[in-house]
Amino acid sequence: MSAIRLALVGLGKIARDQHLPAIAATPGIELVAVASRSATLDGVAHFATLADLLASGEAIDAVALCTPPQGRRELAGMALSAGKHVLLEKPPGATVSELGPLVAAAQERGRTLFATWHSRFAPAVEPARAFLSEVPPRAVRVTWKEDVRVWHPGQRWIWEPGGLGVFDPAINALSILTAILPRPVFITSAGLDFPSNCAAPIAATLALADAGGLPVRAELDFLQTGPQSWDIVVETDRGTLTLAQGGAVLSLDGQVLSALPETEYRNIYKHFVELVAAGRSDVDLAPLQLVADAFLLGRRTLVAPFHE
């Protein structure tokens, strides 16, 4: 099978920091074009928009959408209609319901649609899942706190409707949670702090449970300074299991069980190549559904305005 000819749509911070090096390091896929209104890449064909790219006749097989989530549905539909495979950055869209027609379109056209959850590909996530498949969890505590000014500088879209606010990073925690726990969880209550000048929350507290009553508590914050907190702590009969550093390190009662270099995005593109070869799609909406449910049930509190 020849290498997948990929176009990257959107060339912002996440594309430059993660997608470009991952694509370059992944056998079976090559970057041949970029669509961006504000940035170019030396040696790669450039177009202002995806529509311009598709109209140009440039030979591509797939697109990776790294734009803000509010516009991904239209772009994904356009690419699928043109017979291209589609990789979606997380979150896969601005709403849950908009993804169903895209799944159907991919199936109808025999194309691959991959809704990526990069944190699920962190090295310690699978060992954590394997452990909890044998040792039932008794309680779970999630602490996901980071500095929006460091990770999303000047990205106003994150505070607009569909931008998710603090849930843009926190959905990573929910993607891990839904991967490692043996039973599905659901939101039972939520508290959402909205800056008075923003349409998305800057902090949140979630209570979740599974059908057996497993208590899950999540503390989410977008104003953490200093060391960042990306941790999931699970109490079990065999000890305290801690998945730290966003899924990079797994320990049991302080003893490290797994700690490997971060290869999340390389593994995403490796999986994408495998999906295309197998003619399959991979679209799990559970993390996005939990966010939607938090907005449905969340008690909203206005807090101080946010300024960069």
- Residue pair 296/190 in contact (Cβ under 8 Å)? The answer is no
| pLDDT at 1 exceeding the cut of 80 | no
| DSSP line for 30-92 | EEEEEE-SS---TTSEEESSHHHHHHHT---SEEEE-S-GGGHHHHHHHHHHTT-EEEEPSSS
User: Within a 10 A sphere around the Cβ of 24, how many other Cβ atoms?
Assistant: 12
The average pLDDT across 52-76 equals 96
CA distance 65 to 199: 24
Average pLDDT over residues 156-163: 94
90 belongs to the catalytic site: yes
Cite the DSSP H helix spans in the chain: 13-14, 20-24, 50-56, 72-81, 99-109, 125-134, 148-151, 167-180, 264-278, 286-297
Model pLDDT for residues 262-271, shown as the tens digit of each residue? 889 999 999 9
pLDDT of residue 262: 83
pLDDT of the residue at 261: 85
Q: What is the CATH number of domain 120-260+292-303?
A: 3.30.360.10
Closest to 39 (Cα-Cα) out of 55, 62, 19: 19
Among 183, 181, 187, 190, which residue's Cα sits nearest to residue 234? 181
Choosing from 13, 84, 90, 270, the catalytic residue is 90
Task: Give yes or no for residue 38 having a pLDDT over 90.
Answer: no
Q: How confident is the model at residue 66 (pLDDT cuts 50, 70, 90)?
A: very high
CB 192 within 8 A of CB 301: yes
On average, the pLDDT of the chain sits at: 96
Confidence of residue 277 (pLDDT cuts 50, 70, 90): very high
Region 157-185 average pLDDT: 97
Per-residue pLDDT tens digits for 25-34:
999 999 999 9
Backbone angles phi, psi at 62, to 5 degrees: -155, 160
Helical spans, DSSP H, in 181-252: none
Domain ranges of the chain: 4-115, 120-260+292-303
3-state secondary structure 163-189: CCCCHHHHHHHHHHHHHHCCCCEEEEE
Instruction: Classify domain 4-115 at the CATH class level.
Output: alpha beta
Average pLDDT of the residues in 253-281: 94
Please give the pLDDT value at position 39. Answer: 85
Instruction: Copy the structure tokens of residue 119.
Output: 């944190």
* Residues, the chain: 308
| pLDDT tens digits along 85-141 | 999 999 999 999 999 999 999 999 999 999 999 999 999 999 999 999 999 999 999
